[in-house]
Amino acid sequence: MIKLDKIDHAILDTLQKQGKLSNVELAEIVGLSESACLRRVKNLHEKGVVTHYAAHLDAKAIGLPGTVFVRVSLEKQQEERLNAFEEAVKDVPEVMECYLMGGDVDYMIRVVVKDAPDYERVHNILTRLPGVARVHSSFALRTVLKRTRLPLQKS
């Protein structure tokens, strides 16, 4: 794990909130000169702490207001089956997150959709992925909170 001092934390915390901030503004916020600030940001990239920058869209504005949590159980828990499913699920663009779970369910998936009929389409895709035995869907009625800013405490 990479050592991060207080200024690094300030940089990361700020860039998580305002990724498009100019370097001069960022430098002023964290209390560094432009060059020193830019070097630290670059370093955080090279060390892999910052993976990438992304514009975030309003899901409603582009016609994808729906969120569905899908729990997928596979037929067998063989290694090759897991890989086949995992590779296949990456090709479904509506799938935003996928986690291998402990407990009675194999995968937890978050899917974005236009509406209920649109989810039927995605549902059919998911049930046909390799190794899938059961698919259990839970619709979200409303998004209460969606955050991209990871908490940066003292490590």
Partner DNA sequence: ATTGCCTTTGCAAGGACATTGCGAGGCTTT
Partner DNA sequence: AAAGCCTCGCAATGTCCTTGCAAAGGCAAT
15, interface contact from its own copies, DNA, none, CB < 5-8 Å by kind: its own copies
The answer to whether residues 19 and 151 touch, using CB atoms and an 8 Å cutoff, is no
Position among 27, 95, 126, 129 found at the interface with its own copies (CB under 8 A)? 95
- The H or E element spanning position 71 is strand 66-74
Q: What sign results for the dihedral spanned by CA atoms 18, 19, 22, 25?
A: positive
145, interface contact from its own copies, DNA, none, CB < 5-8 Å by kind: its own copies
d(C-alpha 106, C-alpha 127), whole Å: 14
Residue 31 as a binder of its own copies (CB under 8 A): the answer is no
**By CB under 7 A, which span of 37-45, 52-60, 88-96, 118-126 interacts with DNA?**
37-45
d(C-alpha 71, C-alpha 105), whole Å: 7
Position among 2, 17, 18, 22 found at the interface with DNA (CB under 7 A)? 22
What is the closest distance, in whole angstroms, from the C-beta atom of residue 36 to its own copies in the complex? Answer: 18
Distance between terminal CA atoms of the chain? 10
The secondary structure of residue 110, as a DSSP letter, is E
The answer to whether residues 151 and 79 touch, using CB atoms and an 8 Å cutoff, is no
User: Contact positions toward DNA, by CB under 7 A?
Assistant: 7, 22-25, 31-40
User: Contact positions toward its own copies, by CB under 8 A?
Assistant: 1-2, 4, 12, 15-20, 47-64, 67, 69, 86, 89-90, 93-103, 105, 107-108, 110, 112, 138-152, 155
